[in-house]
Structure 1
């Protein structure tokens, strides 16, 4: 490939170098922040063999080129534009200036929770392994693997301890990530998180029972009583407390003489934030978090398969807006409080959407005569089945329209089944075929059946819509939007 020529063509198609305010790349895509996206010549980009697809999200215009190619094209692009090489975080920072307040809020949640997802995924998957060892009737009638093999008891207990760690000490993870995102010292955020799960406090999971029995311990200070209760497995309290900590630290640092900064700033920041956390912020946000979780569980249980089908239908459009990143915070709380919630119902529905997007893309692969579309659809369809839908959704389905319609209908059908069968996830992971390992052991067969429903419906509806359009057009399905 002539990478310099590709870079020149891309540059001409996006309005030349004057239209680029920031540029970076990930493993497969150019990630550009453009001054005016209306200047993009979409038709010219679509006709380029090297371009596998394009889409705009979160203030970034992204061009899919593929692994290996994107690195070389980016090098040539920086030479042509004179823009110094930037990281994806630099581009995210530049693109955030173009977002509205709601988009900024969603991006903030994404910035906080995406870095801690690996720890949550690891804990959840270990929980799944523990469930496989301890679930009754999964492999042996009337027994679990531990019951049948007592030698596995301590192994299961060890795995369970490893699995719970990320959720028991969740405020520490969030404290670091959130305080860093809000502009404070992340290690003060860690200290705040540790304070909220200190072993001298009543374990937050036992707070409900202690309240009913009247055994909640308190500090008695100057005639006031402050509950000595921890915040294990909570999300909202530490988010708000981290924001207060970061703002307070910044303010104190401004007014403190530099000679006393290292002494007074961390001391006052932690002490004042800690007092506010246990007197006001913690109790209020704990109640708000419980109401939110209870409300979501009630909504899911009350609306049943109808609500599940509607959620499945709109999940992909939500992804287009980027709003799906806000679900990470909700899922984290659902998983942290798994004893009450039973797990996350969002993850299985997301998986149905991804499977349906992949199925619709593979239907296009079967039907289209355009070799470029075939090349994109083959890789993108498989990628979507494995949980990565951007290439399929933006590179094929949205551009042709009818596959996207087929995909959301398939997603609704799969989500209807998975909601009716009450399938929930006990971990985050790749929402697609690999998501099997994130599902509660007793629901794995139901998950597989629902995936099959989503795939078949999306595939068949996409073919039906393509044939219908073929009747209306002389050229039939040729890789262009009907």
Structure 2
């Protein structure tokens, strides 16, 4: 594969250098913000060597190359596009994220914002979830005494990420909202200060109250919460930006952080925090009622619809709800449902691989299926299943059946972000997760073969 030649042809089919506002890449795809998508020759791009599919989503035109290949193509494409030299007045230099957001509708923009905040935090939550799973095995099979020093330390390690979650979110959210990241972390620290009662594991404790400006305020901390700190840091960023416009430069370094922390701190404990806590509790309560009332039917619906939600990009907003759920009920029952939908896409793509006679489709389908089994579904969805439509429907039905099973058996996860095979590391019930996994893949595989599709 000649990566330089592919980059040259790709730039030509994209409408030239002037039609590309910004470019970036993820693990499998080139992500391009395009000025005028009418100039793109999508059919020719899909025929390029190594291209597994192309689609427009989330304000970006995305070209699937697969892991490893996309990096090599991007290295050749970047200097051809000359994006770093683009400083003209009509299209000033800006970040790829900002350029993409301008192309999105408000709902997609909101989902992308939440994704940008939570994706960097996922490794910390995954580590904590895996530690919780290890502790569960140690406790269930009596590998280690619960009073031993090893168990106590591991328990401390596993809960740390959730206790300081507002600090992690504060840092990440401030960056996304355009505020000072360290001030965002300070606000998270205020909301988890030792002077405030830690509700993490202390559900029966009663917090003290303080009289502030005639208002009675509960000294209750926000350890493990999500929505209160998101709202607070958003307001903090607005306050900080407003102050920087009016505070003279000579005293900006001293006065702006000082006033930002004071104003936001009072606002957090008196107004935003209680409102955010109530909103977070309301969301988890509603989901809990639906989960316990509808049961497998809820799993059937959510598992069947999730892949369609992925097409809109709105699925990124679920991270905030899942993080709140982990603390509120001690587990995440949405992630196993999403996992069923993802691996079902892999099952349908695998069926296409075995049945198709097209060598290029075979070359795309097998790695795309493996990628879906590992939790990355875009190559399977956009490169194969959605292209032929009926395999996508087969995958949706497989995801629905798998989702119904994991809800029926009440499978939950100890974290967020991991689906497919990697989710075994954080699944609270690996055995039933495995059964749901097999149901989703096999039903999607069989239904795709039965439904058939047209190669052309």
CA deviation after TM superposition for structure 1 residue 251, in Å: 1.4
Worse-superposed segment, 322-331 or 57-66: 57-66
Residue 112 (str. 1) matches residue 134 (str. 2): no
Structure 1 match to 2:332: 344
Q: 1:134 to 1:68 in 2, by over 3 A?
A: closer
Distance in 1, matches of 2:319 and 2:417, equals 11
Change (3 A) 1:433 1:152: farther
Q: Which structure 1 residue ranges, 5 or more long, are not aligned?
A: 470-476
Match for residue 361 of structure 2 among 370, 373, 379: 373
> 1:36 offset after TM fit, Å?
2.2
Match in the other structure for 2:3: 3
Instruction: Please state how far the C-alpha of 1:101 moved relative to its aligned partner.
Output: 1.2
Offset of residue 94 of structure 1: 1.0
Match of residue 198, structure 1, among 168, 187, 193: 193
Number of the residue aligned with 2:406: 418
Equivalences for residues 169-184 of structure 1 within 5 A: 169-184=164-179
Q: CA offsets, 1:143-175, max 9 Å, x none? A: x333xxx39832222111101001011111111
2:108 to 103, 111, 117: 103
Check whether the contact 1:176–1:187 (CA below 8 A) recurs between aligned residues. yes
> Using a 3 Å threshold, how does the CA distance of structure 1 residues 388 and 254 change in structure 2: closer, same or farther?
same
- Which residue in the other structure is 1:314 paired with? 305
Bigger mean CA offset, 373-382 vs 62-71: 62-71
Work out which of the residue numbers 153, 159, 163 in structure 2 matches 1:158.
153
Question: Are residues 1:324 and 2:345 paired?
Answer: no
Counterparts of 1:354-433 in structure 2, within 5 Å, are 354-433=342-421
Cα deviation for residue 207 of structure 1 reads 7.3
Say whether the 8 Å CA contact 1:107–1:325 is kept in structure 2.
yes
Deviations 1:328-385 (A, max 9, x none): 0001011122xxx241111101110111011111101000111111011111111111
Unaligned runs of 5+ in 2: 87-93
- Contact 1:78 1:85 (8 Å CA) reproduced: no
1:267-312 deviations in Å (ceiling 9; x for gaps): 1111111111111111121111111111111111111101110000
Post-superposition offset of 1:11: 2.5
Count residues with an aligned counterpart. 449
Counterparts of 1:433 and 1:207, CA distance in 2: 34
Tell whether the 8 Å contact from 2:319 to 2:416 is kept in structure 1 after alignment: no
Q: State the 1:315 CA deviation.
A: 0.2
What's the RMSD between the two structures over aligned residues?
2.0
Contact 2:6 2:49 in 1 (8 A): no
Q: CA, structure 1 residues 458+250, in 2 after alignment: closer, same or farther (shift >3 Å)?
A: same
Which of 134, 137, 160 in structure 1 is aligned with 2:139? Answer: 134
TM-score by length of 1: 0.88
Matched, 1:59 2:59: yes
Query: 2:442 pairs with 436, 456, 459, which one?
Result: 456
CA distance in 1, matches of 2:27, 2:374: 17
Q: TM-score, normalised by structure 2?
A: 0.93
1:12-66 CA-to-partner distances (Å, cap 9, x unmatched) read: 3223333222223334322211122233222222222321221222111111223
Whole-Å Cα distance in 1 between the matches of residues 5 and 59 of structure 2?
26
How far, CA to CA, are the matches of 2:69 and 2:373 in structure 1? 23
Match of 2:34 in 1: 34
Conserved? CA contact 1:23–1:85, under 8 Å: no
* Partners of 1:49 and 1:372 within 8 A in 2: no
After superposition, what is the alpha-carbon deviation per residue over 1:240-275, rounded to whole angstroms, capped at 9, x for unaligned?
111111111111222222232222211111111111
1:283 aligns with 2:271: no
Whether the 8 Å contact between 2:338 and 2:419 is mirrored in structure 1 is yes
Conserved 8 A contact 2:146-2:152: no
| Structure 1 segments of 4+ aligned residues over 4 angstroms from their partners | none
